[in-house]
Amino acid sequence: MEADYVIVGAGSAGCAMAYRLSEAGKSVIVIEFGGSDAGPFIQMPAALSFPMNMPRYDWGYSTEPEPHLGGRKLVVPRGKVIGGSSSINGMIYVRGHAKDYDHWAGQGADGWGYADVLPYFQRMEHWHDGGHGGDPEWRGTDGPLHVTRGPRKNPLTRAFVEAGRQAGYQVTGDYNGEQQEGFGPFDSTIWRGRRWSAASAYLRPALKRETCTLVRGLARRVVIEEGRAVGVELDRGGQREVIRARAEVILSASSLNSPKLLMLSGIGPAAHLAEHGIDVVADRPGVGQNLQDHLELYIQQAATKPVSLYRYWNLFGKAAIGAQWLFTKTGLGASNQFESAGFIRSRAGVEYPDIQFHFLPIAVRYDGKTAAEGHGFQAHVGPMRSVSRGEVTLRSGKPEDAPRIVFNYMSDPSDWEDFRTCIRLTREILAQPAFDDFRGKEIQPGADAQSDDALDDFIREHVESAYHPCGTCRMGRADDPTAVVDPECRVIGVDGLRVADSSIFPRITNGNLNAPSIMTGEKAADHVLGGPMLAPSNRQPWIHPDWQTSQR
């Protein structure tokens, strides 16, 4: 088997690339280890806690014991299914802040500033405002990726935005438009009541073309001959074979598996490769380094009225929601329940938001376990730009072994300070009059946790990953020894090989990473095709006029 382009990974970026390359008439083979995304656990938005906990759909990775979190091992779900993590995520759609991309460009990712990436966000989107206002000129209206808003009928969901306003923060009609800062409605990748993953938006249409083929198998390594990538070795149906690429091999296997594949192929830190008996093709010390993520806490409050989703949290309630969704694709099953968002700055002198809120009208954990108190609500909160960095390394030279993952979470004193600030600012918001009719006792951290030490204990025990790993194949200038790919996503030191997924992010963006990952696939496809890039935008984002002197 051979094609012009061989893409490893049918995830957010890989699906977008398959669509654009095949649309341009190139032949594409996509290699994916995971299986079908059919069935209600993936397709029903409200069931989002199931697929990320199912071995059938998730690689099942976890961190090593995290040294600054009391040795806890945190789970690191990554999609092992058509659509990748866009098939198991929370379906939240956040582009990131304009300044994130300007920072990328400043770090050597030339041509990836906000002016350069905005046209790609617009090209990929089919945005539906649902009558909630917004910034149509900043959005795309005919792309493959449907972006919608939930119905926002729950009074708690509306109270959260009002509480933000009462606390003195901005209200924004569209955090993906001109103004990210403030409180407002969440965007999601849900369309007609179903999860609208990268598989639905990009891969299925691409596979209808004769130029695009999907192959199921485990990619073992990139085959490199005389300094050039010429194919991918994989295990398929008990056989080992090589799929050859006439033009290029593209890794879109995630921020955990893309660096792993590079290292298995001899591209990475030379000493580390030698430890595992792998011949060095290119000594790139940056491969697997610069690992970043977002952490979050759930600040949970009991509710004094039965307004939360808790009344459905029983077998009968879930069955009724499931039945309504199966037959009509409507009702509570058709929403991810994340319908109100907030982006704020932690203190004066911070130019753009560095804290994100996800509001949920139930007190529940990601694994689906509810709080013992029954009715309640919670705000997920966490800092956006931690300075802590981790790494992905090889556990062994065997492709079937999971990579070794250490995030080094909370390794910098500023992380602890930032999280204490997050808790205190959240408490202040939940104490506003908008919640007076609903507010019971604080479930967690709990009213007793007030001192820095008490909050630190709570953070150490309860902080969770928001599942936004990135940065392990950092993009930079070709002469930067720590960069792995150049600004056209080409692996430095090897011909015919690119990486296009969240691993190339120089620094994590503000918010959830699915939208930036798809954008990466869209833009990388234009680099691969060698054609002109979309014309830069001249739109200027809103920055708080008093950011230097005021926190809100």
The pair of structure tokens assigned to 76 is: 């690191």
Buried b (16+ CB within 10 A) or exposed e, 467-481: bbbbbbbbbbeeebe
Tell me the three state secondary structure of residue 323: helix
> CB neighbours of 271 closer than 8 A, spacing ≥ 6?
none
Q: How far apart are CA 237 and CA 218, in angstroms?
A: 10
Q: Which residue in the list 294, 358, 468, 544 is annotated as catalytic? A: 468
> CB neighbours of 241 closer than 8 A, spacing ≥ 6?
1, 233, 234
Q: Are 193 and 45 in contact (CB under 8 A)?
A: yes
> CB neighbours of 13 closer than 8 A, spacing ≥ 6?
198, 252, 500, 501, 502, 517, 518, 520, 521, 524
HEC letters along 265-297: CCEECHHHHHHCCCCCCEECCCCCCCEECCEEE
Q: How far apart are CA 502 and CA 458, in angstroms?
A: 30
User: How far is the CA of 160 from the CAs of 57, 384, 432, in angstroms?
Assistant: 33, 20, 9
Residue type, 120: Y
Residue 81 assigned ligand-binding role: yes
| 128 is a catalytic site residue | no
Tell me the three state secondary structure of residue 164: helix
Q: Are 150 and 188 in contact (CB under 8 A)?
A: yes
Triad 132, 341, 146: Cα angle to 5°: 55
Q: Are 31 and 219 in contact (CB under 8 A)?
A: yes
Q: How far apart are CA 108 and CA 434, in angstroms?
A: 45
Annotated binding-site ranges for FAD: 81
Q: Which residues are catalytic?
A: 468
Annotated binding-site ranges: 81
